Structure 1
């Protein structure tokens, strides 16, 4: 049975995750559809008089997928699912099937649109050149104003903020995200000074300077001259091979030949993961390793440590930053 319901401004009709038990027709006022994001809400749409909301749960009984609240004093007509289902039961089976299928299609389409929007937002926020730009700003401020300390080089968060926004005219929230990511990864530390500012210490200044030069060189090389990037898993394999390469002598060509059978047998103990001989194949294909060498019954991977160590370190940082900066 339909019933009227009034909502004062900023009151919720329902919240994300609530059980769905009715759909609503807006009689007067204005509603907002929002999604909770951290401590705030993002508005997705406005619902005007004459429109309806909450109808999708009628077919699949899934929890509410968003918040709906009144932007101003609003009156809605509630149509309980129990009453609507009785009316639906009177429709032919094929009509109910079409309605249910349409509902599922709309819900899946909305989900895919949301995923694409999220992916695009992440891509626009921190594409590779933006990562390197903010790393460069960070390096510049540390190089020019950093104070040497026992653990590294330190600067004030105020100084970094001022340079980011005033000199380079970039968003300070992005710099904050970059600093937090590098802190989590062990490159920086942050210490509150008690006045709302922080002392930021760079623990690995040389590595971050080298990273910017390396990444800039990779980004602006012609595609035909640029090695393919390493995935997170490939970095794990390469780091394991580096560990084992350091245990064997370097030959007259500057290579350390790693027995892949030894790696498979001892990798779980040494690196906490099973590294199989075939795991090195993609590294050979991408030319981070030379071709495998057969010697008797053993297969060896030639590792050029001066080349692959910075590659593994830098691609690991790229992959970790992409995850942290989503």
Structure 2
């Protein structure tokens, strides 16, 4: 660094940071980089009401250099773990030094800086996705659904479109009996409402009337999902993606238009599926779109009959699978 600054060391300014004080915070404007002379700094990210430590910076290292190239706000907090002394190097003076470098060197430095920022951004997105996944892992979704079903089944009042319960009763059971977070239950009920499985009606006193409109389907989902979660890996079928669910639901739609054969299987023409899928479902479904369903053993192999290609569906098996994977995928997307 001294070599980079040349003789213009007057730009450097010593600064002391007491233990637990911040050198700068996430979001602060960036105006200088720092070399740690003594002590120890921690790089942290704010997460809710707490901070997560990302790294420690020891004497001889530098921090805050990224803003030199793009002047973006600080991307993290930097605080002193113990009393620390740093040497502050203002960007204004450093930019004068950068101007003396060849253009190609400045371009490389700027490109490296942008690459690091983009990598940090992707890591943050991955961290957020993992946090969402951990907040609603499969067993938690099933537990919350079971609580909702139990309270509705035991205390629900019959309605024209289902059974109703008070949001207060559901909240009390969720947090007091089953010791689950009420905000998670609220998220689940909101998701079920969006998907047409429930309704919510404000009562004007800060509470809601919640109607479970499809209790039988939700009970069946819990049983199916619980069985899938705890099955041994060798006995599990691979999960279905949202697109695979759309293809399977389309096949089921066409299968119901034909009579089953003597073995109880419904034969669907893949040519008819392709020709009519846009009109029936608003999207083109091609014969090859069923290949992954065959690989995952939700369908049997394709068969030739004359000049056409068909697949055979066992509706009592595939229809619950399609319904449950569709519901699970929709819940996951809304619970993020």
Q: TM-score, normalised by structure 1?
A: 0.80
Q: Is residue 288 from structure 1 mapped to residue 298 from structure 2 by the alignment?
A: yes
Structure 2 Cα separation of the partners of residues 166 and 255 of structure 1: 48
Q: Is residue 233 from structure 1 mapped to residue 263 from structure 2 by the alignment?
A: no
Q: Is residue 182 from structure 1 mapped to residue 180 from structure 2 by the alignment?
A: no
Query: Shift of the alpha carbon at 1:130?
Result: 1.1
Structure 2: state its 5+ residue gaps. 1-10, 14-23, 36-42, 80-86
Query: Shift of the alpha carbon at 1:220?
Result: 1.2
Equivalenced residues, count: 310
Q: Is residue 202 from structure 1 mapped to residue 209 from structure 2 by the alignment?
A: no
State the SS of the aligned residue for 2:245: helix
Question: 1:188·1:201 contact (CA, 8 Å) conserved in 2?
Answer: yes
Equivalence for 2:177: 167
Matches within 5 A, 1:1-326: 22-23=31-32, 55-59=65-69, 61=70, 63-64=72-73, 66=75, 83-91=93-101, 96=106, 99-100=109-110, 102-326=112-336
Question: 2:33·2:91 contact (CA, 8 Å) conserved in 1?
Answer: no
State the SS of the aligned residue for 1:209: helix
Query: Shift of the alpha carbon at 1:228?
Result: 1.2
Structure 1 Cα separation of the partners of residues 233 and 300 of structure 2: 21
Structure 1 Cα separation of the partners of residues 12 and 49 of structure 2: 30
Structure 1 residues 260-269 or 123-132, which shifts more?
123-132
State the SS of the aligned residue for 1:254: coil
Structure 1: state its 5+ residue gaps. 4-12, 27-31, 71-76
Change (3 A) 1:21 1:216: closer
Equivalence for 1:8: none
Structure 1 residues 150-159 or 88-97, which shifts more?
88-97
Structure 1 Cα separation of the partners of residues 195 and 63 of structure 2: 44
Change (3 A) 1:162 1:255: same
Query: Shift of the alpha carbon at 1:229?
Result: 1.0
Change (3 A) 1:157 1:251: same
Structure 1 Cα separation of the partners of residues 232 and 71 of structure 2: 50
State the SS of the aligned residue for 1:291: coil
Superposed CA deviations along residues 201-237 of structure 1, whole A, max 9, x for unmatched, are 1111110010000111111111111111111110000
Change (3 A) 1:304 1:163: same
Question: 2:26·2:76 contact (CA, 8 Å) conserved in 1?
Answer: yes
Structure 2 Cα separation of the partners of residues 110 and 52 of structure 1: 18
Equivalence for 2:40: none
Query: Shift of the alpha carbon at 1:102?
Result: 4.6
Structure 1 Cα separation of the partners of residues 302 and 112 of structure 2: 55
State the SS of the aligned residue for 2:193: helix
Query: Shift of the alpha carbon at 1:65?
Result: 6.7
Change (3 A) 1:62 1:320: farther
State the SS of the aligned residue for 2:301: coil
Change (3 A) 1:215 1:300: same
Q: TM-score, normalised by structure 2?
A: 0.78
